[in-house]
Chain A
Amino acid sequence: MALVKFENFSFTTSDKEILSDINFEVDEGEFVLICGPSGSGKTTLLSHLKKELRPNGKINGKVLFDSINIKDLDDTKSATDIGFLFQNPDNQLVTDTVIQEIAFPLENIGMETEEIRNRIAEMTAFFGLDKLLYKNVNELSGGEKQLVNLCSLLVLKPKLLLLDEPTSQLDPIASYEFLTILRRLNEEFSITIMINEHNVNNILPFADKVIFLNNGSVEYFNTKKNIIQEVANDEVFKFYLPDVSKINLLLREKYPKLKDEKIAISIREGRKLLNKIADDLEVFPKDTNKTLSEDYLYYNNEELVKTSGLYFAYNKENIILKDIEFTIKQGEFIGIVGGNGSGKTTLIQLLAGLLKPVKGKIMRKDIKIAYLYQNPMIHFSKETVEKELLLDNETELNNETRKLLKFFNIEHLIYQNPYDCSGGEQQKIAIIKAFMKKPDILILDEPSKGLDPLSKHDLAKKLQTLQSNDLTIVMTSHDLSFVANYFHRCIMLFDGGIQVDNDPKDIFAENNFYTTFVNRLVKDYIPNGVVLDDVKEKWNL
């Protein structure tokens, strides 16, 4: 019997239809992945499964949980049986210590103290959180916070977990760990999971079924293997396939003998298929490792920023950056990568001048620098986008601003509140705002975080266009394939210093673990193949 059932469901708010004609069933123990561009109604779909979170509007049709209409579900049953995890790890924390946060839902349902403690003991041992129990939640890393949030849902012993882009704010390692725990919960405890996620490379191998949502209706709903073939030529959803499957699909076109094989989703399956056709595949030698020397496009450009012997720390015990020496040249597109807490944000804030170095010097030419925070919200203080973008003494947007709005395709937003825009749109508004200062260097902190694949691609293209018009761009990122696809220079931070400073493709070709999915797949054939285009070009796909 189906645990979750949508029957002819549609949802309309005063001005538009958000969801229409939704029909699907999810059985107990299934792992369902929901994908779709931002604004396609993914979050709304999930929130209709949680009585407490249903948005206001007109509902037609039914949503059933355990054969009971969600709206008739008992309060306590809804709270305990259905867990909902939100996107941002910070906002959903309610209390100050880890143990209090985990106990919070149990206290809410009036459980006896002894039973509460039993449940906490059990859960925290499973998650390895027992050492953190009395820590202040503000001191945890993003991954730990999200784990605490998940733990505080699981103590209620839910049957269904709803997760709304839970890893979009986490770095790749933390998000991988988080997804692994979800997989365990699903496999070992048969908890039904429905998850919205953009990061398909990591998650699709775990999923049973996939829902592709666009403009409020279910475009595709099938098991993962079938759905990949269905959407292979879809204009929107081909972006949502894992890299392994994309390559697999291309190879199928060229090598018909792959047609009978099942489509590959994980690296393991992908490599197995490559081995099947190994004789037909051309193997390339590894390019010798280059450095950023004469043949580097920007080698002879003017130096805009130069640092020497930069140190930064908040206290004596923990030195964040040690002896940083590097230069930014006119026109470069630099990506800064590195693990959580490796000092990426600190470094770019030093470069921008938001922080002052404890020791060492930063020489800047007479230039203007614009800095964009990770969370664009910090840049907004007005009621509408238009007011946000007005210069002093202006009553109307000037032509240049209008051109930028047009360039970023967000003209339709000017009368909206910036807080009501999606993450990608907010990012673009903030960039326009920064751009109006006519900076020479644009510094961005994780602009690709939480964006869906299409918006990410779009943002990268826009940034590239700006860069080709003589703008220097420096940004941090966790997204390796983003860096490999669009950047000319990549700096990897480790242990407080610059570990590598080179072309991103060379860096990832050298790495075995900290590299893109494409590279992990084709390493034995094309050692320098880091992004999909490399593979296409080398194998003529």
Chain B
Amino acid sequence: MRMTKIHPITYILYYAILIIFAFLFTNPYYSLTFAICILTLIRIQGIQKEFKGTIKGFIMMGVVIAIINPLTSHQGVTRLYIWNNYFITLESIVYGLILAFALILILLTFTSFNKAVSYQDLLYIFSKKFPTASIIIIMALRFIPFLNYRLEEINKLQDFEKENSDKKGFINKINNVSNSLIVMISWTLEESMITAKSMKARGYKTTKRTSYLIYKINRIDKIFISFIIITAILAILGLIYGDGRINIYPTIRFSFNHFPLDIYYFSFLFLLLPLIYLEIKEEMIWH
């Protein structure tokens, strides 16, 4: 349980801005700042474990994109011949790298978003507009683990019966799998009739549904939202003045010596910090 309650709308707004910015700000200094901050946030949120599993996949995907882009796109002026007159351009290599990096950043942001906003929070937002769809999602959330458990039991029984019979072989294996599914589906369909009756008996579809979930827009939400809007606007102004983004095509115009220590950079940096700050504050209560 968290002590700081932030409205899911605030979270959604914040993470949406982050995801857009991960695409827009291609300056390596900006991207690196973004990466450091989001990794810190993930670390504080305590999801490194799940994260370790997924990050490998993200990096693989990034590598694939970085390789494919120069092979398919020949924009740019700096030609690098590799074989006879087949060439790739330096610009498209760099562009591929930047694109891959941005994608990884977005996926990281999503990982963090998943932790910050539970599915129930999302449903709350969702259920106001789409009450029927949201109840279907809730039902699925109960049903899928339930079916999984049931299929396990059925498979256990099938294995047991298989051991006792002398039929072996590939065809029989397929038969067994299809049989398991038949048992599960007919059993479950039969029982879901009762679920449907139980829903009807408890007044489902009599009037427009409401929700038991309650979220208030608190002072902290107002401060949070004003803060991110101000910093985001400043950072975008910077973008308009050519700060935070590098031009790649037709030629790369970027110098590592130019570190952008200006108000635009700092507003970008501040935009990344509020959640880290709140998480640390939360941690401090317990230490």
Interface pair A353/B197, CB less than 8 Å apart: no
**Is A112 among interface residues, defined by CB-CB distance under 8 A?**
yes
Complex contact A53–B206 (CB within 8 A) = no
Inter-chain contact A108/B154, CB cutoff 8 Å? no
Q: Does B130 count as interface, using CB distance less than 8 angstroms? A: no
**Interface status of A52 (Cβ within 8 A of chain B):** yes
Q: When each residue 341-382 of chain A gets 1 if its CB lies under 8 Å from chain B and 0 otherwise, what string results?
A: 000000001001111000000000000110101000111110
Residue from B138, B183, B197, B212 in contact with A380 in the complex, judged by beta carbons closer than 8 Å: B183
With contacts defined as CB atoms under 8 Å apart, how many contacts are there between chain A and chain B in the complex? Answer: 144
B191 lies within 8 A of chain A by Cβ: yes
- A109 partner, pick from B145, B186, B203, beta carbons under 8 A: B203
Cα distance, A67 to B202, chains bound together (Å): 22
Q: Assess A108 versus B207: contact at CB under 8 Å? Given A94-B142, A95-B142, A354-B156.
A: yes
Knowing A94-B195, A95-B142, say if A79 contacts B201 (CB, 8 Å): yes
Q: With contacts A354-B156, A437-B164 known, is A52 near B201, CB below 8 A?
A: yes
Residues of A close to B206: CB separation below 8 A: 75-76, 79, 108-110
Asked if A44 is at the interface of the complex by the 8 Å CB criterion, the answer is no
Task: Indicate whether B194 reaches chain A with its CB closer than 8 angstroms.
Answer: yes
Contact digits for B194-223, partner A, Cβ 8 Å, 1 yes 0 no: 110111111111111111111000000000
Q: Is A106 part of the binding interface, using a Cβ–Cβ cutoff of 8 Å?
A: yes
B182 at the binding interface (Cβ < 8 Å): yes
What separation, in Å, do the CA atoms of A106 and B204 have in the docked complex? Answer: 9
How far apart are the CA atoms of A196 and B235 in the complex, in Å? 69
Which A residues, 74 to 118, have Cβ-Cβ distances below 8 Å to chain B?
A: 75-76, 79-80, 83-84, 86, 88, 90-96, 99-100, 103-114, 116-117
Q: Chain A residues near B202 (CB, 8 Å)?
A: 79, 104-105, 108, 152-153, 156
Q: Which one of A50, A108, A349 has the greatest number of beta carbons of chain B within 10 Å?
A: A108
Q: Which residue of A lies closest to B197 (CB)?
A: A53
Using CB atoms, name the residue of chain A closest to B206: A75
CB pair A91 B195 closer than 8 Å? yes
CB of B243, distance to nearest CB on chain A (Å): 46
| A interface, size bucket | 35 or more
**Chain B residues in 8 Å Cβ range of A111:** 210
User: With A75-B206, A113-B210, A354-B156 as given contacts, are A138 and B149 in contact (CB-CB < 8 Å)?
Assistant: yes
Q: With A138-B142, A138-B149, A419-B186 given, is the CB distance from A105 to B203 under 8 Å?
A: yes
Q: Which residues of chain B are within 8 angstroms of A90 by Cβ–Cβ distance?
A: 146, 191
Give B127's nearest chain A residue, CB to CB.
A107
Q: Quick check: is B141 within 8 A (CB to CB) of the other chain? A: yes
Q: How far is the CA of A51 from the CA of B179 in the complex (A)?
A: 38
Is A137 an interface position by the 8 A CB rule? Answer: yes
Q: Does B77 contact A (CB under 8 A)?
A: no
CB closest residue in chain A, given B207: A110
A100's partner among B138, B157, B164 (CB-CB below 8 A) is B138
Is A106 within 8 A of B142, CB to CB? no
Of all chain B residues, the one with the shortest Cβ separation from A114 is B214
Is B187 located at the chain interface by the 8 A CB criterion?
Answer: yes
Complex: A94 Cα to B205 Cα, angstroms = 14
Q: Name the A residues within 8 Å of B138 (CB-CB).
A: 94-96, 100
Complex alpha-carbon distance, A378 and B181, angstroms: 11
14 contacts between A and B (CB under 8 A): A50-B201, A52-B201, A53-B200, A76-B206, A88-B191, A91-B192, A92-B195, A92-B198, A95-B138, A104-B204, A106-B210, A107-B212, A120-B212, A377-B187
B residues bordering A, Cβ < 8 Å? 135, 138-139, 141-142, 145-146, 149, 153-154, 156-157, 159-160, 163-164, 179, 182-183, 186-187, 190-192, 194-195, 197-214
Instruction: Please give 20 more A-B residue pairs, beta carbons under 8 A apart, in addition to A93-B142, A108-B204, A112-B210.
Output: A52-B197, A79-B201, A80-B203, A84-B198, A88-B194, A94-B139, A94-B195, A94-B198, A96-B141, A100-B138, A108-B203, A108-B205, A110-B208, A138-B142, A138-B145, A138-B146, A353-B163, A354-B159, A369-B164, A371-B160
